Amino acid sequence: MPDGSAPLGWPVERRGLSRPGRRRYPGPPMNTNESVLRIHDLSKEFRGGAFWRRRFRAIDKVDLEVCRGSVFGLLGPNGAGKTTLIKILLGLVRGHGGTAEVFGLPAGSSESRRRVGYLPEAHRLPNYLTGWQVMMLFGMLAGRDRKDVERRAPALLERVGMLKDSQRKVKEYSKGMQQRLGLAQALVHEPELVFLDEPTDGVDPVGRMTIREMVQDLKDAGVTVFLNSHLLMEVEMICDRVVIMDHGRILREGTVEELTPKTGSVRFELRSVPDDIESVLEGFGELRRPDARSLELDTTSDEQVDSAIDRLRARGVSITAITPRKLSLEQSFIDLVKGERA
């Protein structure tokens, strides 16, 4: 294995970042209007039950388009069809209707696969290999020559915090270490599109932050990231667009902003709250006190907010911040799925 001073190859220092150790990926030339994934009327059925007589649709007439250089989030409860959809796009499972294209080619074609990286959910790496050998194996399976993989692997292993442990066997790794190694192998052949299925599963908070930073670096370089995660807070932090699925169908698609609308509630941060605050804001609807220096007020218009500000100032109350309250992506997701199943 080359030492840590070997040429780092693909990752180079990221411009505009002062944090030491952060690296970016040059990646492909970016055209954000170009679709890297295009799905139309896609369906997939499975058989089950006695004598395989029962049929159920894991994917039900799905239409979807993902643009280059975006971070696309796929959300849904267990059994929603998320992993099946990813496997169809990778050519691991065949659909029963509709079309799926990756880089304008049929999903699963050898040419499209060469340009794709994949971190499966609950993946199993060969436990008799070392971390370094895993990188060499998957890099060469992806069509890279040995010297190229040797040049690229150290920087990726260092980026995920696994370089110093790369000579240990996989069977000695914790679940989080295996997950970080899995992410590195998904990137070793410099893919233009990366599928990450639960990438932070079993990873500690520092490791999750590292993975989020890597996803942002990939996006900055024009690499498209297709993310499936149960951690909705992380999806909300890093995704440009999100699809919510259930029972194989798309319930809603949009930006995080579109999926987390304002609730009509406004939070006021105050230096101090007078004892007669209820009478000061009488007639403004329900008033809540989240903590000693905050108020939450339900409003119906900006004019009501202005009136509340005027009343507080007239009473001599110093306002330090005013924040419109929004639904979290998690609450929006729960409301949508519950409404669909009601």
List beta partners, residue 130: 169
pLDDT digits (tens, 9 = 90+) for 113-130: 999 999 998 888 999 999
- How crowded is residue 165: how many other Cβ atoms within 10 Å of its Cβ? 17
**CATH number for the domain formed by residue range(s) 12-253:** 3.40.50.300
Global pTM reads 0.75
Residue 339, pLDDT > 80, answer no
The pLDDT score that the predictor gives to residue 300 is 65
Q: Which fold has domain 262-326?
A: Alpha-Beta Plaits (3.30.70)
Ranges 37-46, 74-83, 285-294: which has the least confidence? 285-294
Query: Which pLDDT band holds residue 263 (cuts at 50, 70, 90)?
Result: low
The pLDDT score that the predictor gives to residue 12 is 36
Q: How far apart, in whole angstroms, are the C-alpha atoms of residue 138 and residue 96?
A: 30
Select the more confidently predicted residue: 182 or 268: 182
Residue 261, pLDDT > 50, answer yes
Residue 188, pLDDT > 50, answer yes
Nearest alpha-carbon partner for 305 in 266, 270, 279: 266
Query: Domain segments of the chain: what residues?
Result: 12-253, 262-326
How many residues are there in the chain?
342
Q: What is the DSSP letter of 215?
A: H
Do 12-253 and 262-326 agree at the fold level? no
Residue 178, pLDDT > 50, answer yes
Up-side HSE of residue 340: CA atoms within 13 Å toward CB?
18
Structure tokens that stand for 179 in this block: 């997950």
